[in-house]
Structure 1
């Protein structure tokens, strides 16, 4: 690790993507009503709220960073052929050191979640298991692979909601939203190397559209001010559909990759939209503040 420093190992963790995972937690808090509770009980609930938010934010950092680093470890031999510039095949990062780092990150994520409650701890364990399963098996499965990847993200959103286990029991089907969205990204991303996946691109676009309908429907059911979610959905559409349209038109790996990158970063906007649907536009804005941080990191580190 000393030879090349810490930077190659940071590259393995995809820092820009990690910020999108934090957005899952913050949106989960909105679904659980934690933001609203903190606002109305700021004297009694303030300290506990921030402690739980910190623990689960740290948890998702460990889970996501460890999971994506294991992805590069699992792909090291293939990357040596298709993406030799990546840290492990280029020799800038040791595979054995990366494995130790990834394992410690996953364990850290699980331990942090248990500081909130046992439900959160078990959910974090399930997310870690899903991530490693995808890295070594799921990504090679045409249908189950995208579902496996989507389950990682679904578990992450549920991890945020687990701050209020009684709410989680009632509203867990909301996890279908990140599952569908991330499954679409995973399906589209298979054209990043060779291109020519128009059917997958069209299918992904339809799945994205279903997310818009689901979030707007939730906002309509949850809040009389449901129209406040429209600006967030408008921003989401602006971010994901133009790159997708260009990828469909050109069928070139470069533009498919840009479409995937835009969709991954836009997970923050998906979460901001969900937060706005449940807790109003101010909380949506708070989640959206993570976007410029992720965009800045995306200029420094690879997203895919």
Structure 2
């Protein structure tokens, strides 16, 4: 293998660590938060771009550190991953993850001190999950949900006063991600049916909440319903299958569908506040994420 090929493989390995398909779903969180804040993108696109860069760094850094903390375990269970396979070094990944988190917080600081504070909170929650949270049956799902809820509030912070009015929206992605994280605990060896049932109940609560959110603005309710139906079809069916037969393969399928469908969730929230055109704009991210999911792992 020549030097050029070796360098290309290393770059590809570090790119794999960031889970690009997942990062696109993080963009959708921020765009949904911006919609909830009632912010018109055309008024200040620079702030929007800064927040998209911020969530890229925060999410990318968080998932890179996930592999850093899991390096020893992955060497046994998933030796094909970048660090245990030797395509990325442990120190290199830790340095890369640190740079991404710093970029994320710095980009958020360009919008406001509140945005920076939320970004710091998201980064801290991500590291807490990577190091400790994911090993706890209850705290793990809650911890990961807080990361996503904070990411949505990062978008809301584009208009700081709106945070006091829209903070409750974080409960939707918190519950949604808690459901996915709960069921994902059997991703390697298979799971427990009881855990799957809890995840299914949580997902049902999310769908009910989205319909209620659409009802707050009756002019957008008709447009919201198709988004809710799409989300239900994409998530509930694989979740039900994973509950009835909690094999590792069924659980991975449910997790993959749930993660990618975060974009549908965010599109639904966006539609509730900003109408159908904005909801469709966010939904465009779904095929982009699905294409990337064919090239990179989704977890």
Q: Fold-level match, TM-score > 0.5? A: yes
Deviations 1:54-96 (A, max 9, x none): 0000100000000000000000001111111111111111110
Shift of 1:196: 3.4
Matched, 1:20 2:20: no
Which ranges of structure 2 fall in alignment gaps of 5 or more residues?
A: 1-5
TM-score (norm 1): 0.94
- Is residue 227–residue 268 contact of structure 2 (8 Å, CA) maintained in 1? yes
Q: 1:177 aligns with which of 167, 172, 189?
A: 172
CA positional deviation for 1:228? 1.0
User: 1:41 corresponds to which residue?
Assistant: none
Q: Please name the residue that 2:255 is paired with.
A: 260
Q: Which secondary structure does the structure 1 equivalent of 2:118 belong to?
A: helix
Q: Which of residues 10, 14, 17 in structure 2 aligns to 1:9?
A: 14
* Distance in 2 between residues matched to 1:132 and 1:195, nearest whole Å: 26
CA distance in 1: counterparts of 2:232 and 2:291, whole angstroms: 20
Q: Return the TM-score normalized by structure 2.
A: 0.96
Quick one: structure 1 residues 163 and 263, their matched pair in 2 at CA, closer, same or farther if it must change by over 3 Å? same
- In 1, Cα distance between equivalents of 2:248 and 2:222: 37
Out of 205, 211, 229, the residue aligned to residue 234 of structure 1 is 229
Count of residue pairs the alignment pairs up = 294
How far 1:231 sits from its partner (Å)? 0.6
Separation (CA, whole Å) in 2 of partners of 1:85 and 1:302: 11
CA contact (8 A) 1:4 1:93 kept: no
Mapped contact 2:220–2:271 kept (Cα < 8 A): no
1:113·1:121 contact (CA, 8 Å) conserved in 2?
yes
CA distance in 2, matches of 1:86, 1:206: 32
TM-superposed CA distance for 1:3, in Å, is 7.4
CA–CA distance in structure 2, aligned partners of residues 149 and 118 of structure 1 = 24
4+ runs deviating over 4 angstroms: none
Instruction: Deviation per CA, 1:246-302: give whole Å up to 9, x if none.
Output: 222222101110100000000000000000011111110000000000000000000
CA contact (8 A) 2:183 2:199 kept: yes
Instruction: Provide the C-alpha distance between the structure 1 equivalents of 2:48 and 2:135, rounded to a whole number of angstroms.
Output: 35
Of 155, 161, 164, the match for 1:166: 161
CA contact (8 A) 2:183 2:191 kept: no
Give CA deviations for 1:5-56 in whole Å, capped at 9, x if unaligned.
3011111100000000000010001100013xx5xxxxxxx351x1111000
